[in-house]
Amino acid sequence: MPYWCAARLQPHREGLALHCLALAGYQTYYPRLRHRRIRHGRRVELRPALFPGYAFIAVELQWHAARWTAGVINLIMDGVGPARVPDNVIAEIRGREVAGLIELAPPPGLRRGARVRILRGPFTGHLATILKAAVHHAARRCGGRVASLLEVGRELVSTGVLCRKVSSSICLTRKSATSAREMNPQVQSRGSTNAR
C-alpha cells in the first residue's frame, strides 16, 4: 500500500529533484503559496514553497531509489524507514489549494489601542499601546510605521518604531526610540528647568 513521506531537497535544486523523482516513477507533491506583492510599482505574484526545501513523495514498494535521486539530500526517517505522513495531512493541504496554489489569510493588522509586547530592540520585554498605525513607503516590508506609547518605569516615552506583526507581538527592526523631547520640543525632560 503506498504511503507519503517527506524528502529534504538541495537548495536551489528543487526542480531538478522533482524532475528526477518523476523519472524514477515517484509521485511527488511540492505545495506552493500564492504571495502577491508590489515591486517597483507593479503587482507581482510570487510562488514560494509552503515548506521550503521539502517535498512529499508517494512510496509504493521501495524508497531507496528516492533517497539517492539527484537533488535529494535525504528522506525524513523514522528509525530504519521513512517517516509516514498521514494521507489526511496531504488531503488537507491539497484542500486549501486554489488553482494549484495555496492562499494564506493575511495576518490581522495592528489597530489603535492594541496592547503588544516588544520582542527585539532597546525596549525588549516592555508592553506598548498602539497609538496609530500608518503605511510608510520605507516600512512596507515591515508592516507599517507604528507610533506607540511605551511604559518605561513611571515615564511615558513617545516613540516612532518600524515594526512587524508576529501574532500579537511587535518586533522592532530599526532604531526605535526618539525621546519625548525630540518628538515634541515643548516637553521638558525630567530635571531640566525652564530658564527663559
Sign (positive or negative) of CA dihedral 34, 38, 42, 43: positive
Q: pLDDT by residue (tens digit) across 156-186?
A: 445 555 444 433 334 443 333 333 334 334 4
pLDDT of the residue at 139: 43
CA-nearest of 63, 65, 30, 62 to 48 is 30
Distance between CA atoms of residues 67 and 77, nearest Å: 11
Side-chain-side CA neighbours of 159 within 13 Å: the count stands at 25
Q: Which residue has the cell 518628538?
A: 183
From first to last of its 196 residues, the chain has per-residue pLDDT tens of 889 999 999 999 999 999 999 999 999 999 999 888 888 989 998 899 999 999 999 998 889 999 999 999 999 999 888 999 999 999 999 998 888 898 887 767 777 777 888 888 888 888 888 776 655 444 444 444 455 555 554 444 455 554 444 333 344 433 333 333 343 344 343 444 444 4
- Indicate the domain borders of the chain: 3-102, 115-183
Element (H, E) at 166: strand 155-166
The pLDDT value given to residue 160: 53
Q: Model's pTM, two decimal places? A: 0.57
Residue pair 113/129 in contact by the 8 Å Cβ criterion: yes
Specify the CATH superfamily of domain 3-102. Answer: NusG, N-terminal domain (3.30.70.940)
Pick from 129, 153, 133: nearest CA to 144: 133
